[in-house]
Structure 1
Amino acid sequence: MKNIPLLHIHESLGAKILPFAGYNMPILYEGVNIEHETVRNAVGVFDVSHMGEFLISGPNALALIQKITTNDASTLTIGKAQYSCFPNDKGGIVDDLIIYKMKEEEYLLVVNASNIDKDWEWISVHNDVNADMKNLSDEYSLLAIQGPKAIEAMQSLTSVNLSEIKYYHFEVAEFAGIQNVIISATGYTGSGGFEIYCKNDEVEHIWNKAFEAGTAFGIKPIGLAARDTLRLEMGFCLYGNDINDTTSPLEAGLGWITKFTKDFVNSEALKVQKENGVQRKLVGFELIERGVPRHDYEIVDKDGNTIGIVTSGTMAPSLNKGIGLGYVTTPFSTPDSEIFIRIRKNDVAAKVVKLPFYKK
């Protein structure tokens, strides 16, 4: 297991540390519900320094990115970020990622920790245009400062007007006295805030300054368990659960990041799939009766026939009801469709709902 740079701080704060994606990570501090509500109502800080960062640059950087991702990166301008995915050549997804346009001919790709080696190899294999590639994953740390009070709490640490950074835009600026920090209006919670990218030897200083600045706003450290409940309430996919090497972006509801205005890996096959329609779809559902849906639980119809499988599920802290994501056969994918989640031999009534579950 690898250690993130601030592991000693999380241990000193009494965090429950568990292996996650090859790293020892803080999963829990006070409790999932308390931490979840902190982010929904105030401001919390996640240490997600396990994430991977690749720098792709040179005259052919865009050509490589266009070939290996489904979204259209040619629309990016400097200071803008884009959600995308790497399609594989079998109709599935290698990983999902965020692409940042740093400069002309320079892009930062942020990938999931569990897929760093796999993604690096995948990009390398397809780099027949000799774009310059650097794996910065072991050099950079990432703090997600999330919640409705994040702007107000962090404004004293930078001269950049944080309220003017639009969603999926970023600034490279001084933050907490450190130069060249990426301040990105992205996140995985649906409650606003920023993601802060810095060098490993800078992250402890930034962590301490962020907590000093946020004290009056109720800032707290937040673990990965609450990150999961927050993202699930928003209906955001988690790689390895809701999307993987066997799920198509069109099945997963990611048609909006799948642009057929360009050629990319397996684009012809995905185009045919779009024209013919998919056999199954990823849907959000909420339980009508009491119960907690979990990963890999069966989804059945009223007669008990299997129609799908749960990919993510929880008792939603903000909604106080069981919610989940899962793949179902297409006839059951429309909102208000009646489905049942098989929980320990009991078929618990549920209905398909529009995402996100949590609405501000």
Structure 2
Amino acid sequence: MGTHLERFAEPAAEARQALVRMIVADGGLTDPAWCRAFEEVPRHLFVPYYFVHRPGGYERLWCEDLDPVRRERWLRGAYYDGPLATRVRDGELISSSSQPSLMARMLQALDVRDGDAVLEIGAGTGYNAALLCHRLGDGRVTTIDVDTEITESARAHLTDAGYRPRVVTGDGARGCPERAPFDRIIATCTLPSVPRAWLPQCRPGARILAPLSTGLIALRVRDDDRGRVAEGHFLRTSAYFVALRGGSAVPERRIGGVPRRMLENDLFRFLLTLTAGSLDPHEALSLWERERRPTRDRFGVTVSGRGQWAWLDDPGGPYVWPLGEPGDGER
């Protein structure tokens, strides 16, 4: 294990306990098994350095800094309930360690059971995979990322922490067929749509949890007369992640003529992103006002071999629109 683990073991343990108490008090952790995982997996091992945004660029904090004040800032930040920028390239954030309380909510929403096989899309630092390993065991967890530097770093962090899931370098939009079938798929990067390549890699009854359009979509996989189908609602919470790389990019949207106050509304921005390419912004605004500012959990997504679509309240209509391009993730 790394020297920084031994050096910071005691203060890090105290910081983890404080972080868990805060997440529990806020309602983000209720499952004792996940509480133990967050109490025992050392997050600081997965972020030996990270970047803090400053005017004009980023400042790096790291565990081996010779300045004890900066080392203390690094450790305190490692257990702060916020996202940490862990990889920046040409001024662009390409990888991060997610906010722990959001990770806790996502892992609980994943609804794992003993013996489940889980595929994680987006290896990041390896911390989320370590939490999954703590809960399910190393052999039940696969994590994949398109960037070799990220997977090598995640593998090293996981080894230092004593976990050995399968770490794969590849396009997460295509899943990981050689490790299928899976009972759960969790993505830790924002998707433009749900890759249909994931569906045949899931067992019937599997659950998919992924960031989509600043929200978290929770899908249940089933078989019916249309073949393999995944369908479900968004969770109520917001979620902002680094975009998926290797698959389709998250589309940008030019918006004109919509009142600024609406563009600053988090829920309306969610609707705009979800309907990008399908509804004109003014149509989206009309829907928003007509339906009395619907929250995220009123929206849902259906994915099948014929394509995928988003909907409000009911997958059968009346408010249904196409989501993404046919064949996403099946190149």
Normalised by the length of structure 2, the TM-score is: 0.29
> How high is the TM-score relative to the length of structure 1?
0.27
Task: Point out the structure with the larger helix share.
Answer: 2
Please state which structure has a larger fraction of its residues in strand: 1
